[in-house]
Amino acid sequence: MIWLVAAAFFMQSLDSTIVNTAVPTMAEALGVTPLGMRTALTSYVLTLAVLIPASPWLCDRFGTRRVFGAAIAVFGLGSLLCGISQNLPELVFARVIQGIGGASLMPVGRYVLVRTFDKREFVKVMSTVATFGLLGSVLGPLLGGILTEYTSWRLIFLINVPVVAAGLWMNREDMPNYRLDRIHPFDFLGFLLFALTSALLLAAAELIDSAQVVWRVIGACAALALVFGMLYVWHSRRTPHPVADLTLLRIRSVWVSLTGNLFTRLGVSGMFLLLVLFLQVGCGWSPTMAGLMMVPQALGSISSKWLVHRLLARLGYRRLLLANTLIVAALLAAFALIGRDTPAWVIAVLVFLYGSFMGTQYTAMNTLVYQDLDLRHAAMASSMASTMQYLSMSFGIALSALLMESLLRGHAHEDYIAAFRWTVLILAAITAAASRIFSQLRPDRSARAARPN
C-alpha cells in the first residue's frame, strides 16, 4: 500500500514539473511566448487546489479504494488529451482534466497513511512517500528535456497512460477501503464559494500580465474574490460540516503549518520554471542539459529526508523551520550570482544544497499540521494541507512568471539573465518572510510533538 501511494505521488509530482523543461519548445509549437505557457502550469495546480477539499467527503461516501481508482483513471484521460492537444486552450483544458483526477491522489493517499500508521511511524512513512513525490518533481524536467530534444514533447504526457494502467491494478489489489457508513451532506455552497475565490484571484494575477492590461477587470476579479472569500468564512461558521473547517485554525500548529506553507511556496514554487528558462533561453543550454541540472536537487532532497525525523526530535519544529527557511531564502538569493560563464559544476553544487534544505522544509511543513490533531480530524487536515500546498504553488508560479515578465526588457540572452537575477532576489525576500510565521510555534510543544513516543 505504501508503494502504491508513493507511486501516485511520484506520477502527480512528475506531471507537475515535466512540462517545465519543454516550455520553450511547446511555446514555439503552440505559437505563444515561453512565459505565456505559465497558464498550462497554473491551470493544473489550481484545479488540484480547488477540488481537493471534496476528497474527505468522497472518501467517506464511496471509500478510499474506489475514489483512488477513479482519480487514477481520470488523470490518465487528461494525460491522453494533453498529448493530442493542438493549441494552448486545448492544452489548458486537458490540464484541467488532469487536475480533476490528480486532486484526490495526494489527500486520499495521506489519509490512508494517517489511518494505517500511528504518529511514531507516520513521519518516517511520510518521508518515504514524500521522497518519491519529490523525486518525480525533480526528475520531471530531466525526462521532459530528453523527450523534447530526442522525440516529441507530446510523449511527456502520453507516457502516463501505461503507468495509469499499472496503478489501477495495484489499487484493486493493495489499497485499503476506508469509509463511513453514515456521512453528512456535502457542502456544495462552501465548495462553490471556495472555488470562485481561488479562480478569481488567479484570474486577476493572469490578467495583470496580459497584452492589454484592463485594470477595471482586474479590480473587479480581485473584489469579487474578496467578497466570495468573506462569504465563505461567514458560511463555514454556520454550517455543521464545511468543506474546509476553519475552526482547525485555532490550533497553533495547524495555522502555522498552512500559513507557512503559503508564504514559503509563494517564494519557491516558480523556481523550476525560472531556472529552466534561464538555462535554456538565457544561457543557450539544450533541454536535456537543463533538465540534467535538476538531478542534483533530487539527490540533495532524498539525502536530507532520511534525517528529518532526527532533526525534529533534536530541534523541534520551531527551531528547525525557523533556521531552515532562512537558509532556503539565502540559497535562493545565491542563484542571482550565476551567469552564462558560471561553470556547470558550481550551478550543480548550488542546486544540490538548495534541494537538500528544500527537502527538509517540505517534510517538516507537511507533517507539522498533524501533530496536535485527533484522528477524527485527519481527513480534513489532509485536505486543507493539500489545498494550501497547491493553491500556493499556482500563485507562486504565476507570481514568478509575472515578476520575470515585468522585469524583462527585451528578448536577448542578457535580458533573460538580468530578469532572472532580480526575480530570484524578490522571491528570496518573500521566502525569508515565512520564517516569521514559523517563529510563532511554541518551542516546548514543538519539541514534544517531534519526539517519538
State residue 375's pLDDT score.
65
Task: State the pTM of this model.
Answer: 0.78
State residue 237's pLDDT score.
86
Kindly state the DSSP code that residue 186 receives in the 8-state scheme. Answer: P
State residue 445's pLDDT score.
46
Cell of 299: 539527490
As a whole number of angstroms, the distance between CA 223 and CA 234 comes to 17
At 343, give phi and psi (nearest 5°): -60, 145
Closest among 361, 388, 380, 242 to 300, alpha carbons compared: 361
Closest among 338, 366, 369, 367 to 351, alpha carbons compared: 338
Helices (H), 209-248: 215-236
State residue 41's pLDDT score.
81
Alpha-carbon dihedral angle through residues 250, 253, 255, 260, given to the nearest 10 degrees: 170
Residue ranges of the domains in the chain? 2-186+243-450, 187-242
As a whole number of angstroms, the distance between CA 398 and CA 5 comes to 29
The per-residue pLDDT string of the chain (453 residues; one tens digit each, 9 = 90 and over) reads: 677 788 777 877 777 777 778 888 888 888 888 877 878 888 888 888 888 778 778 888 888 888 888 999 999 999 999 999 999 889 999 999 988 888 888 778 877 887 777 766 777 777 778 777 777 776 777 888 888 888 888 998 898 888 888 888 888 877 877 777 667 788 889 889 988 888 888 777 777 655 555 677 778 888 998 999 899 989 988 888 888 888 888 888 888 888 888 899 988 988 878 888 888 888 888 888 888 888 888 788 878 877 887 888 888 888 889 999 999 999 999 999 998 889 999 999 999 999 899 888 988 888 888 777 766 677 677 778 877 887 888 888 888 888 888 888 777 778 888 889 999 999 999 999 888 898 888 774 444 444 433
Check: CB of residue 416 under 8 Å from CB of residue 277: yes
| Cell 510563532 sits on residue | 440
Check: CB of residue 305 under 8 Å from CB of residue 131: yes
State residue 401's pLDDT score.
84
Determine the residue type at 165: A
Give the architecture (CATH level 2) of 2-186+243-450.
Up-down Bundle (1.20)
